[in-house]
Structure 1
Protein backbone atom coordinates (compact mmCIF):
# COMPACT_ATOMS: atom_id res chain seq x y z
CA UNK A 1 0.00 0.00 0.00
CA UNK A 2 1.20 3.57 -0.54
CA UNK A 3 3.26 4.89 2.35
CA UNK A 4 4.23 1.45 3.70
CA UNK A 5 7.78 0.25 4.17
CA UNK A 6 9.58 -0.39 0.88
CA UNK A 7 11.10 -3.87 0.96
CA UNK A 8 12.28 -3.78 -2.67
CA UNK A 9 15.98 -3.05 -1.91
CA UNK A 10 16.07 -6.11 0.37
CA UNK A 11 14.32 -8.32 -2.20
CA UNK A 12 16.73 -7.10 -4.88
CA UNK A 13 19.67 -7.95 -2.61
CA UNK A 14 18.34 -11.47 -1.94
CA UNK A 15 17.88 -12.07 -5.67
CA UNK A 16 21.46 -10.93 -6.26
CA UNK A 17 22.79 -13.26 -3.54
CA UNK A 18 20.76 -16.21 -4.82
CA UNK A 19 22.13 -15.64 -8.32
CA UNK A 20 19.27 -17.38 -10.12
CA UNK A 21 18.55 -14.47 -12.44
CA UNK A 22 15.03 -14.18 -11.08
CA UNK A 23 13.52 -10.72 -11.52
CA UNK A 24 13.09 -9.16 -8.09
CA UNK A 25 9.57 -8.02 -9.00
CA UNK A 26 8.55 -11.67 -9.53
CA UNK A 27 9.97 -12.71 -6.15
CA UNK A 28 8.16 -9.79 -4.50
CA UNK A 29 4.88 -10.79 -6.20
CA UNK A 30 5.24 -14.41 -4.99
CA UNK A 31 6.08 -13.31 -1.44
CA UNK A 32 3.09 -10.97 -1.31
CA UNK A 33 0.88 -13.79 -2.58
CA UNK A 34 2.01 -16.05 0.27
CA UNK A 35 1.48 -13.49 3.02
CA UNK A 36 -1.75 -14.44 4.73
CA UNK A 37 -2.01 -11.88 7.51
CA UNK A 38 -0.08 -9.67 9.87
CA UNK A 39 -0.90 -10.11 13.52
CA UNK A 40 -0.22 -7.71 16.37
CA UNK A 41 1.75 -9.42 19.13
CA UNK A 42 2.60 -8.58 22.74
CA UNK A 43 5.43 -10.90 23.78
CA UNK A 44 4.98 -9.87 27.41
CA UNK A 45 1.56 -11.52 27.63
CA UNK A 46 1.32 -15.26 28.30
CA UNK A 47 -0.98 -15.44 25.27
CA UNK A 48 0.94 -13.09 22.92
CA UNK A 49 -1.77 -12.91 20.25
CA UNK A 50 -4.64 -12.55 22.72
CA UNK A 51 -5.91 -16.04 21.93
CA UNK A 52 -4.28 -19.36 21.05
CA UNK A 53 -2.92 -19.72 17.54
CA UNK A 54 -4.89 -22.43 15.74
CA UNK A 55 -3.23 -24.34 14.34
CA UNK A 56 0.02 -23.67 16.19
CA UNK A 57 2.94 -22.48 14.06
CA UNK A 58 5.53 -24.82 12.58
CA UNK A 59 8.25 -22.22 13.02
CA UNK A 60 8.90 -18.76 14.34
CA UNK A 61 11.61 -16.24 13.67
CA UNK A 62 12.70 -13.44 15.94
CA UNK A 63 15.38 -11.11 14.64
CA UNK A 64 16.72 -8.51 17.07
CA UNK A 65 13.30 -8.16 18.72
CA UNK A 66 13.00 -9.84 22.10
CA UNK A 67 16.09 -8.19 23.60
CA UNK A 68 14.92 -4.81 22.28
CA UNK A 69 11.54 -5.00 24.02
CA UNK A 70 12.70 -6.56 27.29
CA UNK A 71 13.98 -4.37 30.14
CA UNK A 72 15.94 -7.19 31.79
CA UNK A 73 17.07 -10.80 31.33
CA UNK A 74 14.15 -12.29 33.28
CA UNK A 75 11.65 -10.46 31.06
CA UNK A 76 13.55 -11.63 27.96
CA UNK A 77 13.31 -15.24 29.17
CA UNK A 78 9.57 -14.91 29.88
CA UNK A 79 8.96 -13.32 26.47
CA UNK A 80 10.77 -16.21 24.81
CA UNK A 81 8.51 -18.65 26.65
CA UNK A 82 5.43 -16.68 25.62
CA UNK A 83 6.28 -16.72 21.91
CA UNK A 84 7.29 -20.37 22.22
CA UNK A 85 3.70 -21.13 23.22
CA UNK A 86 2.70 -20.29 19.64
CA UNK A 87 4.64 -23.30 18.30
CA UNK A 88 3.35 -26.80 17.79
CA UNK A 89 5.20 -29.65 19.51
CA UNK A 90 8.27 -30.29 17.37
CA UNK A 91 8.12 -26.73 16.01
CA UNK A 92 11.27 -24.74 15.37
CA UNK A 93 12.43 -21.36 16.66
CA UNK A 94 15.10 -19.36 14.89
CA UNK A 95 16.51 -16.46 16.86
CA UNK A 96 18.94 -13.79 15.72
CA UNK A 97 19.95 -11.17 18.20
CA UNK A 98 22.44 -8.83 19.72
CA UNK A 99 25.04 -9.70 22.34
CA UNK A 100 26.23 -7.12 24.82
CA UNK A 101 24.08 -4.35 23.35
CA UNK A 102 22.60 -1.82 25.80
CA UNK A 103 21.09 0.68 23.34
CA UNK A 104 20.43 1.51 19.73
CA UNK A 105 19.53 4.77 18.03
CA UNK A 106 16.36 5.19 16.01
CA UNK A 107 16.68 8.69 14.65
CA UNK A 108 17.10 10.97 17.66
CA UNK A 109 15.69 8.38 20.08
CA UNK A 110 18.09 6.29 22.17
CA UNK A 111 16.28 3.01 22.85
CA UNK A 112 17.39 0.61 25.60
CA UNK A 113 18.23 -3.04 24.96
CA UNK A 114 18.86 -5.74 27.56
CA UNK A 115 22.54 -6.66 27.15
CA UNK A 116 22.62 -10.42 26.68
CA UNK A 117 25.50 -12.88 26.89
CA UNK A 118 25.52 -16.26 25.16
CA UNK A 119 24.69 -17.99 28.45
CA UNK A 120 21.63 -15.75 28.90
CA UNK A 121 20.23 -16.87 25.54
CA UNK A 122 21.02 -20.53 26.12
CA UNK A 123 19.50 -20.38 29.62
CA UNK A 124 16.34 -18.65 28.39
CA UNK A 125 15.86 -21.27 25.67
CA UNK A 126 16.30 -24.12 28.15
CA UNK A 127 14.01 -22.40 30.66
CA UNK A 128 11.33 -22.06 27.98
CA UNK A 129 11.55 -25.80 27.34
CA UNK A 130 13.39 -25.67 24.02
CA UNK A 131 16.00 -28.14 22.85
CA UNK A 132 18.93 -26.19 21.42
CA UNK A 133 19.89 -27.56 18.00
CA UNK A 134 22.52 -25.01 16.97
CA UNK A 135 24.06 -21.90 18.43
CA UNK A 136 26.58 -19.61 16.76
CA UNK A 137 27.89 -16.22 17.76
CA UNK A 138 30.07 -13.69 16.04
CA UNK A 139 32.02 -10.72 17.36
CA UNK A 140 31.11 -7.45 15.71
CA UNK A 141 34.09 -6.39 13.58
CA UNK A 142 35.29 -2.81 14.11
CA UNK A 143 34.49 -1.93 10.49
CA UNK A 144 30.79 -2.62 11.14
CA UNK A 145 30.57 -0.47 14.25
CA UNK A 146 28.64 2.52 12.97
CA UNK A 147 27.81 4.28 16.24
CA UNK A 148 24.08 3.54 16.14
CA UNK A 149 24.50 0.99 18.94
CA UNK A 150 27.08 -0.55 21.25
CA UNK A 151 26.64 -4.17 20.18
CA UNK A 152 29.54 -6.55 20.91
CA UNK A 153 28.32 -9.34 18.65
CA UNK A 154 25.38 -11.24 17.26
CA UNK A 155 23.99 -14.70 17.85
CA UNK A 156 22.05 -17.22 15.83
CA UNK A 157 20.11 -19.96 17.61
CA UNK A 158 18.02 -22.78 16.21
CA UNK A 159 15.92 -24.46 18.87
CA UNK A 160 13.07 -26.93 18.80
CA UNK A 161 10.02 -27.38 20.97
CA UNK A 162 9.98 -31.00 22.18
CA UNK A 163 7.30 -33.41 20.99
CA UNK A 164 4.63 -34.01 23.60
CA UNK A 165 4.97 -37.24 25.54
Structure 2
Protein backbone atom coordinates (compact mmCIF):
# COMPACT_ATOMS: atom_id res chain seq x y z
CA UNK A 1 0.00 0.00 0.00
CA UNK A 2 1.60 3.30 -1.05
CA UNK A 3 1.12 6.48 0.96
CA UNK A 4 -1.52 7.82 -1.44
CA UNK A 5 -3.88 5.03 -0.37
CA UNK A 6 -3.40 5.47 3.38
CA UNK A 7 -6.51 6.37 5.30
CA UNK A 8 -6.78 9.77 6.97
CA UNK A 9 -7.60 9.96 10.67
CA UNK A 10 -10.25 12.69 10.60
CA UNK A 11 -11.75 11.72 7.23
CA UNK A 12 -12.11 7.94 7.30
CA UNK A 13 -13.58 5.66 9.92
CA UNK A 14 -11.20 5.39 12.88
CA UNK A 15 -11.72 2.59 15.40
CA UNK A 16 -10.69 4.23 18.68
CA UNK A 17 -11.11 1.06 20.74
CA UNK A 18 -8.94 -0.95 18.37
CA UNK A 19 -6.30 1.78 18.60
CA UNK A 20 -6.29 1.47 22.40
CA UNK A 21 -5.96 -2.30 22.15
CA UNK A 22 -3.15 -2.08 19.59
CA UNK A 23 -1.01 0.56 21.32
CA UNK A 24 -2.10 1.28 24.90
CA UNK A 25 -3.22 -1.95 26.56
CA UNK A 26 -1.44 -4.04 29.21
CA UNK A 27 -0.81 -6.92 26.80
CA UNK A 28 2.78 -8.20 26.84
CA UNK A 29 3.17 -7.61 23.10
CA UNK A 30 2.73 -3.83 23.30
CA UNK A 31 5.95 -3.10 21.42
CA UNK A 32 5.80 0.69 21.72
CA UNK A 33 4.95 0.88 25.43
CA UNK A 34 7.98 3.08 26.14
CA UNK A 35 7.06 5.44 23.30
CA UNK A 36 3.32 5.83 23.83
CA UNK A 37 2.85 5.23 27.58
CA UNK A 38 6.05 5.95 29.50
CA UNK A 39 7.35 8.82 27.35
CA UNK A 40 4.23 11.04 27.65
CA UNK A 41 3.79 10.31 31.37
CA UNK A 42 7.42 11.04 32.22
CA UNK A 43 7.75 14.25 30.22
CA UNK A 44 4.40 15.74 31.18
CA UNK A 45 5.02 14.99 34.85
CA UNK A 46 8.44 16.67 34.61
CA UNK A 47 7.07 19.83 32.97
CA UNK A 48 4.11 20.19 35.34
CA UNK A 49 6.33 19.61 38.38
CA UNK A 50 8.26 22.82 37.60
CA UNK A 51 5.08 24.74 38.44
CA UNK A 52 4.94 27.19 35.53
CA UNK A 53 2.24 25.37 33.56
CA UNK A 54 -0.97 25.81 35.52
CA UNK A 55 -4.27 27.66 35.42
CA UNK A 56 -8.01 27.27 35.15
CA UNK A 57 -8.68 25.76 31.70
CA UNK A 58 -6.74 23.13 29.76
CA UNK A 59 -7.83 21.97 26.30
CA UNK A 60 -6.76 18.54 25.10
CA UNK A 61 -6.54 17.96 21.35
CA UNK A 62 -5.15 14.46 20.97
CA UNK A 63 -5.53 11.34 18.88
CA UNK A 64 -8.01 8.60 19.79
CA UNK A 65 -9.39 8.15 23.31
CA UNK A 66 -6.38 7.71 25.58
CA UNK A 67 -6.26 9.48 28.96
CA UNK A 68 -2.92 8.65 30.58
CA UNK A 69 -1.30 11.88 29.38
CA UNK A 70 -3.74 13.90 31.52
CA UNK A 71 -3.01 12.41 34.94
CA UNK A 72 -0.47 15.08 35.86
CA UNK A 73 -2.47 17.86 34.20
CA UNK A 74 -5.46 17.44 36.51
CA UNK A 75 -3.25 18.44 39.46
CA UNK A 76 -2.68 21.88 37.94
CA UNK A 77 -5.91 22.68 36.07
CA UNK A 78 -9.43 22.81 37.48
CA UNK A 79 -11.21 22.30 34.16
CA UNK A 80 -10.19 20.07 31.26
CA UNK A 81 -12.01 20.31 27.93
CA UNK A 82 -11.36 17.41 25.56
CA UNK A 83 -11.92 17.84 21.83
CA UNK A 84 -12.46 14.79 19.64
CA UNK A 85 -12.97 14.51 15.89
CA UNK A 86 -15.42 11.60 15.72
CA UNK A 87 -18.26 10.05 17.68
CA UNK A 88 -16.46 6.75 18.31
CA UNK A 89 -13.65 8.55 20.10
CA UNK A 90 -16.18 10.56 22.12
CA UNK A 91 -18.17 7.48 23.14
CA UNK A 92 -15.04 5.56 24.13
CA UNK A 93 -13.75 8.39 26.28
CA UNK A 94 -17.12 9.03 27.93
CA UNK A 95 -17.39 5.34 28.75
CA UNK A 96 -14.24 5.71 30.87
CA UNK A 97 -15.20 9.10 32.36
CA UNK A 98 -18.60 7.76 33.43
CA UNK A 99 -17.10 4.45 34.65
CA UNK A 100 -19.44 2.43 32.48
CA UNK A 101 -19.24 -1.31 31.93
CA UNK A 102 -16.75 -2.13 29.20
CA UNK A 103 -14.60 0.96 29.65
CA UNK A 104 -10.96 0.51 28.64
CA UNK A 105 -8.71 -0.51 31.52
CA UNK A 106 -5.96 1.98 32.40
CA UNK A 107 -4.77 0.37 35.64
CA UNK A 108 -1.46 -0.70 34.10
CA UNK A 109 -0.45 2.94 33.78
CA UNK A 110 -0.52 3.27 37.58
CA UNK A 111 2.81 1.44 37.81
CA UNK A 112 4.38 4.01 35.48
CA UNK A 113 3.11 6.86 37.63
CA UNK A 114 4.01 5.14 40.90
CA UNK A 115 7.62 4.83 39.79
CA UNK A 116 7.87 8.62 40.02
CA UNK A 117 5.53 9.34 42.94
CA UNK A 118 6.41 8.98 46.62
CA UNK A 119 2.90 7.80 47.45
CA UNK A 120 1.78 5.45 44.70
CA UNK A 121 -1.40 4.62 46.66
CA UNK A 122 -2.79 7.98 45.59
CA UNK A 123 -3.15 6.86 41.96
CA UNK A 124 -6.71 5.65 42.41
CA UNK A 125 -7.60 9.12 43.71
CA UNK A 126 -5.77 10.57 40.71
CA UNK A 127 -8.05 8.67 38.35
CA UNK A 128 -11.11 10.01 40.15
CA UNK A 129 -9.62 13.50 40.09
CA UNK A 130 -9.10 13.32 36.33
CA UNK A 131 -12.67 12.14 35.75
CA UNK A 132 -13.89 15.08 37.81
CA UNK A 133 -11.65 17.56 35.97
CA UNK A 134 -12.88 16.55 32.50
CA UNK A 135 -15.78 18.99 32.28
CA UNK A 136 -16.67 18.62 28.60
CA UNK A 137 -15.97 16.27 25.71
CA UNK A 138 -16.69 18.21 22.52
CA UNK A 139 -16.69 17.27 18.85
CA UNK A 140 -14.70 19.50 16.52
CA UNK A 141 -14.54 20.09 12.78
CA UNK A 142 -11.22 21.14 11.27
CA UNK A 143 -12.93 22.70 8.26
CA UNK A 144 -14.67 25.34 10.36
CA UNK A 145 -13.08 28.62 11.42
CA UNK A 146 -14.39 27.95 14.91
CA UNK A 147 -13.67 24.22 15.19
CA UNK A 148 -16.35 23.69 17.87
CA UNK A 149 -19.11 25.77 16.23
CA UNK A 150 -21.67 26.64 17.47
CA UNK A 151 -19.94 26.32 20.85
CA UNK A 152 -17.40 29.04 21.58
CA UNK A 153 -14.72 27.79 23.95
CA UNK A 154 -13.22 30.02 26.63
CA UNK A 155 -9.53 30.83 26.10
CA UNK A 156 -7.28 28.16 27.56
CA UNK A 157 -4.23 28.52 29.76
CA UNK A 158 -2.77 25.39 28.20
CA UNK A 159 -3.33 23.21 25.14
CA UNK A 160 -2.05 19.64 25.04
CA UNK A 161 -1.87 17.90 21.68
CA UNK A 162 -0.58 14.34 21.42
CA UNK A 163 0.12 12.89 17.93
CA UNK A 164 -2.79 14.78 16.40
CA UNK A 165 -0.92 17.27 14.22
CA UNK A 166 1.05 14.37 12.73
CA UNK A 167 -2.01 12.61 11.36
CA UNK A 168 -4.41 15.42 10.43
CA UNK A 169 -1.82 17.38 8.42
CA UNK A 170 -1.38 16.31 4.80
CA UNK A 171 1.85 18.28 4.36
CA UNK A 172 4.08 20.72 6.22
CA UNK A 173 2.06 23.78 5.20
CA UNK A 174 -1.05 22.06 6.51
CA UNK A 175 0.78 21.34 9.78
CA UNK A 176 1.45 25.06 10.18
CA UNK A 177 -2.18 25.95 9.45
CA UNK A 178 -3.45 23.39 11.97
CA UNK A 179 -0.98 24.52 14.63
CA UNK A 180 -2.21 28.07 14.08
CA UNK A 181 -5.80 26.92 14.73
CA UNK A 182 -4.72 25.26 17.96
CA UNK A 183 -2.78 28.36 18.97
CA UNK A 184 -5.92 30.50 18.71
CA UNK A 185 -7.40 28.51 21.60
CA UNK A 186 -4.75 29.91 23.97
CA UNK A 187 -4.63 32.95 26.17
CA UNK A 188 -1.66 35.28 25.55
CA UNK A 189 1.21 33.72 27.46
CA UNK A 190 -0.55 30.34 27.43
CA UNK A 191 1.35 27.06 27.19
CA UNK A 192 1.39 24.52 24.37
CA UNK A 193 2.51 20.95 25.07
CA UNK A 194 3.14 18.86 21.96
CA UNK A 195 3.96 15.19 21.55
CA UNK A 196 4.62 13.86 18.07
CA UNK A 197 6.48 11.26 16.06
CA UNK A 198 9.51 12.10 13.94
CA UNK A 199 10.26 10.60 10.56
CA UNK A 200 7.11 8.50 10.27
CA UNK A 201 4.84 7.99 7.27
CA UNK A 202 2.10 5.72 8.65
CA UNK A 203 0.61 3.91 11.64
CA UNK A 204 -1.80 0.99 11.60
CA UNK A 205 -4.98 0.33 13.54
CA UNK A 206 -6.17 -3.21 13.10
CA UNK A 207 -5.89 -3.88 9.36
CA UNK A 208 -6.07 -0.21 8.38
CA UNK A 209 -3.01 1.89 7.57
CA UNK A 210 -3.28 5.62 8.34
CA UNK A 211 -1.33 8.61 7.05
CA UNK A 212 1.34 10.25 9.19
CA UNK A 213 3.28 13.37 8.23
CA UNK A 214 7.05 13.12 7.97
CA UNK A 215 8.96 15.92 9.71
CA UNK A 216 11.99 16.37 11.96
CA UNK A 217 12.85 18.24 15.16
CA UNK A 218 14.25 21.24 13.30
CA UNK A 219 10.99 21.68 11.40
CA UNK A 220 8.74 21.75 14.45
CA UNK A 221 11.09 24.06 16.34
CA UNK A 222 11.11 26.55 13.45
CA UNK A 223 7.32 26.37 13.10
CA UNK A 224 6.75 27.10 16.78
CA UNK A 225 9.12 30.06 16.79
CA UNK A 226 7.54 31.35 13.58
CA UNK A 227 4.10 31.19 15.22
CA UNK A 228 5.22 33.30 18.18
CA UNK A 229 6.11 30.60 20.71
CA UNK A 230 9.10 30.43 23.03
CA UNK A 231 10.33 26.86 23.52
CA UNK A 232 10.89 26.02 27.16
CA UNK A 233 11.75 22.32 26.98
CA UNK A 234 12.33 19.68 24.34
CA UNK A 235 13.09 15.98 24.57
CA UNK A 236 13.55 13.47 21.74
CA UNK A 237 13.64 9.70 22.25
CA UNK A 238 14.61 7.25 19.55
CA UNK A 239 12.02 4.52 18.90
CA UNK A 240 12.50 1.64 21.28
CA UNK A 241 11.24 -1.35 19.28
CA UNK A 242 11.16 -2.93 15.85
CA UNK A 243 7.66 -3.33 14.46
CA UNK A 244 5.80 -2.78 11.21
CA UNK A 245 2.68 -1.36 12.89
CA UNK A 246 4.25 2.11 12.71
CA UNK A 247 7.40 3.44 11.06
CA UNK A 248 8.32 6.52 13.13
CA UNK A 249 12.01 7.01 13.91
CA UNK A 250 11.60 8.84 17.23
CA UNK A 251 9.10 10.58 19.51
CA UNK A 252 9.34 14.23 20.50
CA UNK A 253 7.98 16.27 23.41
CA UNK A 254 8.02 20.07 23.30
CA UNK A 255 6.76 22.53 25.90
CA UNK A 256 6.40 26.13 24.72
CA UNK A 257 4.54 29.28 25.70
CA UNK A 258 2.90 31.92 23.57
CA UNK A 259 4.44 35.36 23.63
CA UNK A 260 2.15 37.99 25.13
The bucket for the TM-score relative to the shorter chain is 0.7 to 0.9
State the TM-score, normalizing by the size of structure 1: 0.85
What 5-or-longer segments of structure 2 have no aligned partner? Answer: 1-99
- Is residue 151 of structure 1 aligned with residue 248 of structure 2? yes
Aligned residues of 2:189 and 2:258 also touching (Cα < 8 A)? yes
- TM-score (structure 2 length as normaliser): 0.56
Mapped to 2, the partners of 1:119 and 1:126 lie a distance apart of: 11
- For residues 72-98 of structure 1, give each alpha carbon's deviation from its aligned partner in whole angstroms, at most 9, with x where no partner exists: 111111111101100100100010100
Tell me the residue number matched to 2:164. Answer: 65
Query: Residues 7-86 of structure 1: matches in 2 within 5 Å?
Result: 7-43=106-142, 45-50=144-149, 51-54=151-154, 56-86=155-185
**Does the CA-based 8 Å contact 1:44-1:79 persist in structure 2?**
no
Cα displacement (A) at 1:12:
4.9
Task: Work out the number of aligned pairs and report it.
Answer: 160
Shift in alpha-carbon separation, 1:15–1:136, aligned structure 2, 3 A:
closer
* 2:201 pairs with 1:99: no
Residue 87 (1) aligns with residue 186 (2): yes
Cα separation, 1, equivalents of 2:194 and 2:142 = 14
Compared with structure 1, are the counterparts of its residues 33 and 83 closer, same or farther at alpha carbon in structure 2 (3 Å cutoff)?
Answer: same
Mind listing any 5+ residue stretches in structure 1 that lack a counterpart?
none
The question of whether the paired residues in 1 share the 8 Å contact of 2:238 and 2:251 is answered with: yes
Which is worse superposed, 86-95 or 144-153?
A: 144-153
CA distance in 2, matches of 1:149, 1:5: 22
RMSD: 2.0
Residue 120 of structure 1: which of 219, 224, 230 is its match? 219
Change (3 A) 1:127 1:48: farther
CA distance in 1, matches of 2:237, 2:120: 31
